Amino acid sequence: MTISGYAIAIILLSFSVLSFSGVAKARIVLTGSMKPAISPGDIIITTPIANKAPKLGDVIAYQARRFNGQAVAVFSHRIIGGDIKSGFVVKGDANKTPDNQKPVAKDILGVVIFTIPFLGNILTPKALFLLVPCIFGLWLILDAMKNVE
């Protein structure tokens, strides 16, 4: 238990440093537009395009905008055509048609380098509200059992 606790702490600390330095960013996927490759509740890890140039077949996270330029949401879809200068043609794997917007370099927040299945479902406020006290209680019980011996 102690080793796994230290391992989790080291992983979280390492990711915090990578996130703070801008090398990687985590995002929770909210929709099923990329099913079956990426499902709702999965966490995607992205890196900026300065670290990994987007290419055909890559999944990118981009800032979607209204026609007036106002930011709407972040979408994570696969590149199916285009280029960085004139804009990529992107489409969710489960969507029938490509997105209307063609993201260019300034819109692309990152290229997906890794996916962690299901973990995003646990990181919702409701789940954490239940999970944190349960983990703390389990820790207290295990600690008390250790002291009994």
Task: Count the domains in the chain.
Answer: 1
Domain containing 59: what range?
25-117
Q: What is the pTM of this model?
A: 0.81
Look up the CATH number of the domain holding residue 58.
2.10.109.10
Instruction: Give the model's confidence band at 1: pLDDT under 50 very low, under 70 low, under 90 confident, else very high.
Output: low
User: Is residue 4 in a domain?
Assistant: no
User: Is residue 10 in a domain?
Assistant: no
Q: Give me the phi and psi of 112, to 5 degrees please.
A: -70, 125
Q: What is the pLDDT of residues 63-114, one digit of tens each?
A: 999 888 899 999 999 999 999 999 999 999 999 999 999 999 999 999 999 9
Q: Give the three-class secondary structure for 139.
A: helix
The arrangement of strands across the sheet holding 43-47 comes to 25-28, 43-47, 108-116, 59-65, 71-83, 87-91
